[in-house]
Amino acid sequence: MPMSKSQNVKASWLGSTPYREAWDLQAELVSALRDGRGTDTLLLLEHPHVFTMGKAATADHLLWDESERSRRRVEVIWSDRGGEATYHGPGQLVGYPIVDLSHFNLTIPTYLQKLEQSLIEYLRDLGVESEPGERGLTGVWSRGEKVAAIGIKLNRSIVSHGFALNLTTDLDYFDGIVPCGHAEKRPTSVEALIGRRINTATAASDYMGHFARVFGARTEWISPESVLAAGLAQPRGSS
């Protein structure tokens, strides 16, 4: 598929970032991109313990009561992304591409397929065979268990939110929710599948190459301190 001239993607590793901070940052980057002041951006990070509830989530998807959540130090946030309940926490690579799909000539279904493919190819490098979910099941799966969740938001032609890939994630935390609305479907992690402990920052660096290749993007690392400034200052179409 032919590409336009605006396929530069700024990428940044934000380290451990509270969910609300990352959410607010995404909103600012979406606004800048929509108004022609920003650039396509890939945020890579991990969150402290949090249950996020998407637009399709309901209160009964929360299985732990408030005292148990407090004991486990896990926050609950009702989010504007699609999907139901999921968990984020240490040892999980979270990726938030804030990109204008018109820059890549992509539809939503094709974007989701490419996002899944970028994760599948990265996992293959680690020795993990995986595949997209069956019909009606989002994310990336291995041996019948979900290793990466995907949930996005669309604002005009701009997408935000993204994926969460379980590397060394404490899978016990998923017991506190009905994950993605499917009580019978269980999560897994790279560590559980192949016994390897992958550092999240290392995973972010290695994953970015797969994102760039699958999306046909030219990627450039920028510092956490400059990610918002770059999003606001760069005119659309700059290189």
Which phi and psi angles does 179 have, rounded to 5°? -65, 120
Q: Which residues pair with 64 in a beta bridge?
A: none
| Residues 93 and 204 sit within 8 Å (Cβ to Cβ) | yes
**Domains, the chain:** 8-233 (3.30.930.10)
pLDDT, mean of each 10-residue run, the chain (239 residues): 63 96 94 91 98 92 95 95 91 98 95 97 97 88 94 94 97 90 76 97 97 95 82 42
Other residues' Cβ atoms within 10 Å of the Cβ of residue 16: 11
Give pLDDT, residue 228: 66
Both tokens of 58, joined, read 């309901």
Give pLDDT, residue 182: 59
Give pLDDT, residue 238: 36
Give pLDDT, residue 145: 94
Answer whether 0.85 is exceeded by the pTM: yes
What's the rounded Cα separation, in Å, for the pair 26 and 96?
8
What's the rounded Cα separation, in Å, for the pair 201 and 196?
15
224 a catalytic residue = no
C-alpha triplet 169, 173, 177: angle, nearest 5°: 130
Give pLDDT, residue 125: 97
User: 45, 112, 148, 180: which one is catalytic?
Assistant: 180
